[in-house]
Amino acid sequence: MRVDRFLSNLPRFNRQQVRLLLVERRVRIDGQIVNDPRAHVREFSRVEVDDEVLQAGRPARYFMLHKPPGCVSATRDPQHRTVLDLLDEPDKDDLHIAGRLDFNTTGLMLITNDGSWSRRLTQPQTKLPKIYYVETEQTITAEYAVTFAQGLYFAFEDLTTQPAELTLLGPTSARLSIVEGRYHQVKRMFGHFNNKVLRLHRERMGPLVLDAHLEPGGYRALGAEEICLI
């Protein structure tokens, strides 16, 4: 939100007062004096006028986790262990999952408290690829790649999937790149050929690749460079 709008939304300031505050350089965002009304106030910004804090701000947090099988992609569940149960972090209730995985699907999960960041990561409009390693019950033929590239019609949602890229790795293994995250999408795509998915593992989301040193259930904080990639 623009800083002039942020301040004008407070009952104590009208528009004229906001203009004066900015011109007189009495407004700080994250410790920096601002006089441009177009300067952005974000969810995690600290906003001050003179020595008074109007928004305290809070630290943005970003984690990469290697999801093990038998774990629910949820913040809480009455029956099963959740991915948040794997985190030894304070204030876990503030965190949410950016891109869920099925109960027995493994691999890269990203967890954050930054809603704008997670939306950029998961929205189909951004077309960030999600890369999966897939093992199936029956042979995967070249026909799969052609069909996936054209898109598959899902009657339940009444939509056709975005083009996906399939690379064959072996008779029953492949790497699949999709830009969506429909309900059980990968399993349903292979189900079009009546081929059951036996193993599904997410290796990558956009430019972020699962850390090879992370054991299943392990996690780490993302670095500043990784965060800025999204």
Show the DSSP H helices in the chain as ranges: 3-8, 15-23, 115-122, 142-150, 185-191, 224-228
Query: What is the average pLDDT value for the chain, to the nearest integer?
Result: 93
CA distance 213 to 116: 28
Split at pLDDT 50, 70, 90, the class of 127 is: confident
Q: Which position among 4, 85, 91, 102 bears the catalytic label? A: 102
What pLDDT is attached to residue 93?
84
Split at pLDDT 50, 70, 90, the class of 226 is: very high
Of 209, 205, 203, 213, the residue nearest 97 (C-alpha): 205
Question: Is the pLDDT reported for residue 174 higher than 90?
Answer: yes
Q: Lowest mean pLDDT of 54-58, 78-82, 109-113, 224-228, name the range.
A: 54-58
Read off the pLDDT of residues 180-197 as tens digits, 9 standing for 90 and up.
988 899 999 999 999 999
What pLDDT is attached to residue 56?
82
CA distance 131 to 204: 5
Q: Give me the residues paired with residue 64 across strands.
A: 110, 220
Read off the pLDDT of residues 46-105 as tens digits, 9 standing for 90 and up.
899 998 989 887 788 999 999 999 999 988 888 889 999 999 998 888 899 998 999 999
Question: Is the pLDDT reported for residue 124 higher than 80?
Answer: no
Query: In order of start, what are the domains of the chain with their CATH numbers?
Result: 3-55 (3.10.290.10), 62-224 (3.30.2350.10)
What pLDDT is attached to residue 1?
86
Question: Is the pLDDT reported for residue 145 higher than 90?
Answer: yes
**To 5 degrees, how large is the angle CA 43–CA 180–CA 80?**
75
Split at pLDDT 50, 70, 90, the class of 44 is: confident
Instruction: For residue 102, indicate whether it is catalytic.
Output: yes
What pLDDT is attached to residue 222?
96
Question: Is the pLDDT reported for residue 115 higher than 90?
Answer: no
Q: Give the percent of the chain with pLDDT over 90.
A: 75
Of 201, 25, 230, 217, the residue nearest 128 (C-alpha): 230
State pTM to two decimals: 0.80
